[in-house]
């Protein structure tokens, strides 16, 4: 199976669109190119960011990218959420598991880095995701916005912890050990034969061949937006409604450490 590296021809000048880059970039991730555009970028509309994301990732839904841009713009206004403004991950669970439905953007370098398959929870659905949960033991995927945090070695190898930013929808992600990890059941060739990818216990698992590189790209603050047209979430999401400070309570009360075994 091959990955989906993005050619130079599909690179895009996304950098000026980081309108939301209010928090300073951590010293461990120097990005001097961000500084000259910080003030002017703060005045650029989310719609323009979404349009350019759609141009560099034409297979993704423009409507989903608009929502991701809106939520990230909101989250970046609150430094307590710890979002790195240079990267963005988007998962579209409205698509079948047999299709690539995860996109990872390097906004600072103006590239789309990954276009990948991703599994959903075994109780979320077969090929199509249908049900989502924030509950321990549900074996379902959670919706909404996350920040990617630290890595660790667990039962599924090299894994990435996620902090859920959506109260009631994914704020128990660390408690549930909802993490990104590689899994052999994320196999597009086998999915063609059986009609779906293998399923996780709720984690957004990816192909083992790309897991480490993808995880290292996302770690330490990347905003990850997991979409499904769930009416309750779309209506109640604080980040989508513009209540940018509302999600800070999740960050303030999240546990410093979580379970060591993902799903």
Structural domain includes residue 260: no
Segments of the chain scoring below 50 in pLDDT:
1-44, 255-261
Q: What pLDDT score was predicted for residue 111?
A: 85
Q: Which domain holds residue 232?
A: 8-253
Structural domain includes residue 184: yes
Structural domain includes residue 131: yes
**Residues 190-209: pLDDT tens digits?**
999 999 999 999 999 999 99
Structural domain includes residue 258: no
CATH number reported for the structural domain that contains residue 82 in this entry: 2.40.440.10
Q: What pLDDT score was predicted for residue 52?
A: 85
Determine contact, residues 37/24, Cβ cutoff 8 Å.
no
Burial (CB count <10 Å: 0-12, 13-18, 19+), residue 257: exposed
Q: What pLDDT score was predicted for residue 15?
A: 41
Q: What pLDDT score was predicted for residue 17?
A: 43
Structural domain includes residue 3: no
Structural domain includes residue 162: yes
Structural domain includes residue 1: no
**Residues 63-113: pLDDT tens digits?**
999 999 999 999 999 999 999 999 999 999 999 999 999 999 988 777 899
Domain count, the chain: 1
Structural domain includes residue 262: no
């Amino acid at each position: 199976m091959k990955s989906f590296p993005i050619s130079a021809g599909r690179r895009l000048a996304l950098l000026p669109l980081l309108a939301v880059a209010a928090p300073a970039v951590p010293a461990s991730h120097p990005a001097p190119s961000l500084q000259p555009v910080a003030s002017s970028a703060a005045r650029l509309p989310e719609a323009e960011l979404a349009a350019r994301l759609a141009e560099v990732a034409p297979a993704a839904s423009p409507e989903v990218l608009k929502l991701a841009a809106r939520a990230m713009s909101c989250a970046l206004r609150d430094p307590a959420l710890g979002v790195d403004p240079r990267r963005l991950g988007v998962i579209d669970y409205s698509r079948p598991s047999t299709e690539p439905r995860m996109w990872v953007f390097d906004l600072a370098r103006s590239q789309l880095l990954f276009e990948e398959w991703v599994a959903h929870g075994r109780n979320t659905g077969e090929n199509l995701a249908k049900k989502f949960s924030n509950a321990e033991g549900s074996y379902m995927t959670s919706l909404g916005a996350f920040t990617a945090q630290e890595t660790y070695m667990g039962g599924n190898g090299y894994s990435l912890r996620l902090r859920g930013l959506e109260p009631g929808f994914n704020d128990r992600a660390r408690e549930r050990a909802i993490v990104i990890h590689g899994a052999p059941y994320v196999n597009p060739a086998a999915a063609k034969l059986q009609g779906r990818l293998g399923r996780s216990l709720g984690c957004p698992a990816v192909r083992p061949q790309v897991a480490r590189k993808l995880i290292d790209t996302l770690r330490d603050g990347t905003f990850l937006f997991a979409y499904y047209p769930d009416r309750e979430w779309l209506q109640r999401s604080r980040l989508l409604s513009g209540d940018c400070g509302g999600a800070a309570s999740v960050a303030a009360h999240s546990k410093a450490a979580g379970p060591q075994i993902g799903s």
